[in-house]
Amino acid sequence: MRTTILSLSTACALALSGSPALATPGAPGFDPALAADLSALCATHTFQDLYGSDAAILPAGYERVYVSEPRGMDNLFQVFRHGSMGVIEIRGSTADPLSWMENMHAAMIPAEGTITVDGEPFVYRFADDTAAAVHAGYALGISFIAADVLDQVRALHEQGVDDVTITGHSQGGALALLLRAYLENLPSGRLPGKTRFTTYAFANPMVGNAAFAGTYRNAYCETGTSFSIINPADPVPGMPMSFLDHPIFSAATLDGIIGGQEGYDTRSLARSAVLRMMRGKLSGLARYASNSVDKRISGSVGDVVMPPYRKEVNYAVMPERIELEPFPYPLILRDSTILANDSIMKANPRDAQGVFLNKELYRKAPGFYQHKPYNYHVAILRRWFPQRYAELRVKILPENL
């Protein structure tokens, strides 16, 4: 499939999409219009980082009412209001090493317990099944934002907004799922009684074991209020540990990363991680990684005391998956001078559309191309809103090539 790319000089030059479809806040069942809006909100961080403004991607009708300070392991969330619906959007991984460590903190802890940070206890409950276990790093991430999120949910309630959608991409998607479970399991009286939650997680890694996933499914997916939107060609949704939103790192790099060392070979180290996992050492590797991460995090956020780690790391796919088609990568010649080289042109036949049959002449998609937030947004438009997709001036951000 060939995809048109237009040059992008400034974000203000973009007319990214046509008239939006109307989302239906609070209605059970997967809502493609809401998914399109939320995937755009998840891409606002990309636009802010690349262009200094997210005006071109912010969907119509959404008012940003709050942006948290970065906390803990560079965790940050935004709050939007769209009529009678509030949205809590959680940012994914950043370039901050602490953010990387949150992903690599992949040992499992019980789904109910206490995390202590700098002497302050965070009492959590993600599920009532004693067999349920969750990702230690993401649970720790929730501990840094939970109180602020609660304040914002109460503020929305005071404004008459009781339908709250929680969303995020990648690490943000994992945190969105756990945040929903945390909020729903709070003791009576901690939340406004009328609050109703919906969750749309994009490109999320796995966040717990089968017992947790099953409990989550029964509580939220069967009510039609929680969805995991996945590109099957994206490697992150299959990762329980040791990944970044950009290049992959194995736990074998942990000492170098934690010590601030540079110059490690990410490719060979990733291969090493795969080999170690195949040798059945994943559980021990995860606990080693998490113990090392604990020490590094403690130096930045205060002393961290985690519940005892489980000996298991058998992560399970989060339920109610909505699968997108893999994202097409455009045909870009490896060498732009090929078209002017008569000998190469004669030696390489082309089809009726002028495309070389020898695909080695074209670039391969870069690592994590299938994971990019904007590509998720475009894929949703392509599947459910073909007219909006056709009107989209920029179908692939040049920076994602």
CATH no. for residue 24? 3.40.50.1820
* For residue 51, pLDDT beyond 90: yes
Task: Please state, in angstroms and rounded to a whole number, the distance separating the CA atoms of residues 299 and 115.
Answer: 16
Q: How high is the mean pLDDT of the chain?
A: 85
Residue 4 CA from chain centroid, whole number = 26
Q: Which residues pair with 305 in a beta bridge?
A: 116
In a domain, 336, yes or no: no
In a domain, 351, yes or no: no
Number of domains in the chain: 1
Using CA atoms, how far residue 24 sits from 163, 218, 325, in Å, is: 11, 23, 24
What is the structure's pLDDT at 249? 40
Q: Are strands 85-90 and 163-169 parallel, antiparallel or unpaired?
A: parallel
In a domain, 32, yes or no: yes
Structure-model confidence comparison of residues 283 and 112, the more confident one: 112
Structure tokens at 78: 């935004």
Mean pLDDT of 212-226: 97
Burial of 60 (0-12, 13-18, 19+ CB in 10 A): exposed
Summarize pLDDT for 117-148 with one digit per residue, the tens. Answer: 999 999 999 999 999 999 999 999 999 999 99
In a domain, 345, yes or no: no
What is the structure's pLDDT at 284? 64
* For residue 251, pLDDT beyond 90: no
Q: How confident is the model at residue 21 (pLDDT cuts 50, 70, 90)?
A: low
In a domain, 231, yes or no: yes
What is the structure's pLDDT at 93? 94
Q: How confident is the model at residue 243 (pLDDT cuts 50, 70, 90)?
A: very low
* For residue 275, pLDDT beyond 50: no
In a domain, 274, yes or no: no
Task: Please state, in angstroms and rounded to a whole number, the distance separating the CA atoms of residues 27 and 35.
Answer: 13
Task: Please state, in angstroms and rounded to a whole number, the distance separating the CA atoms of residues 35 and 165.
Answer: 11
Mean pLDDT of 37-43: 98
Summarize pLDDT for 310-364 with one digit per residue, the tens. Answer: 988 889 999 999 999 999 999 989 888 888 888 888 899 999 988 999 999 998 9
What is the structure's pLDDT at 255? 45
Task: Please state, in angstroms and rounded to a whole number, the distance separating the CA atoms of residues 155 and 62.
Answer: 17
* For residue 204, pLDDT beyond 50: yes
CA angle, residues 50, 201, 372, in degrees to nearest 5:
30
Task: Please state, in angstroms and rounded to a whole number, the distance separating the CA atoms of residues 379 and 324.
Answer: 7
Kindly report which listed range (84-88, 184-188, 288-292, 315-319) carries the lowest average pLDDT score: 288-292
In a domain, 214, yes or no: yes
Strands (E), 68-111: 77-82, 85-90, 108-110
What is the structure's pLDDT at 272? 46
Structure tokens at 19: 């008239």
DSSP, collapsed to helix, strand or coil, labels residue 202 as: strand
Q: How confident is the model at residue 67 (pLDDT cuts 50, 70, 90)?
A: very high
In a domain, 299, yes or no: no
What is the structure's pLDDT at 146? 98
Question: What range defines the domain where residue 91 resides?
Answer: 11-245+305-329+365-400
What is the structure's pLDDT at 276? 45
* For residue 263, pLDDT beyond 90: no
What is the structure's pLDDT at 367? 83
